[in-house]
Amino acid sequence: MRILYDPMNALKNIRKNVFKVTQSEFSVVAGVTQATVSRWENGVAPSLDEMRAIREAATNRGIAWDDSFFFETISPESFDDTCKAVGLRVT
């Protein structure tokens, strides 16, 4: 199985469904500005240190954490179909 990293969907999912907070509240949790959270949700990937801080914040709040929250897994067939649909060559 291939792993597709989609920061926009992953971070919004973490904020809304794991932490259950607004962007503003999540910015405090993550130790960043609300504008940074907005950028994450619009496709700018957080740094590894920022990802670690989010994981640590969840752990400190007693939230069950799984690093796969940062990633979306898709089947190889779906990945290949998506690549073809956007004009990328699949080898």
Average pLDDT over residues 32-51: 91
In a domain, 37, yes or no: yes
Give the count of domains, the chain: 1
In a domain, 8, yes or no: yes
Q: What's the pLDDT tens digit per position in 5-35?
A: 555 578 888 899 889 999 999 999 899 999 9
- Rounded to two decimals, the pTM is 0.68
In a domain, 91, yes or no: no
CA angle (45 as vertex; 84, 42 as ends), nearest 5: 75
In a domain, 25, yes or no: yes
Beta bridge partners of 2: 74
Domain range spanning residue 31?
2-85
CATH number at residue 26: 1.10.260.40
CB-side neighbour CA atoms (13 Å) of 25: 9
Distance in angstroms (rounded) separating the CA atoms of residues 46 and 48: 7
